[in-house]
A = this chain, B = another copy of it.
Amino acid sequence: MSLSARNRLSGTVQRVETSGLMAEVVVELDGGQTVTAIITSGSADRLGLEAGSEVDAVVKATEVMIDAH
Spell out A's residues near B (CB within 8 Å): 2-10, 17, 19-25, 27, 29-33, 35-40, 42-44, 47-49, 53-69
Q: Contact between B3 and A67 (Cβ–Cβ < 8 Å)?
A: yes
Q: Contact between A40 and B6 (Cβ–Cβ < 8 Å)?
A: yes
Given A42-B6, A58-B65, A68-B48, the answer on whether A33 and B30 have CB atoms closer than 8 Å is yes
B contact residues around A44 at 8 Å (CB): 4, 66
B contact residues around A69 at 8 Å (CB): 2, 54-56
B contact residues around A29 at 8 Å (CB): 9, 29, 31, 33
- CB contact between A59 and one of B19, B21, B63 (< 8 Å): that residue: B63
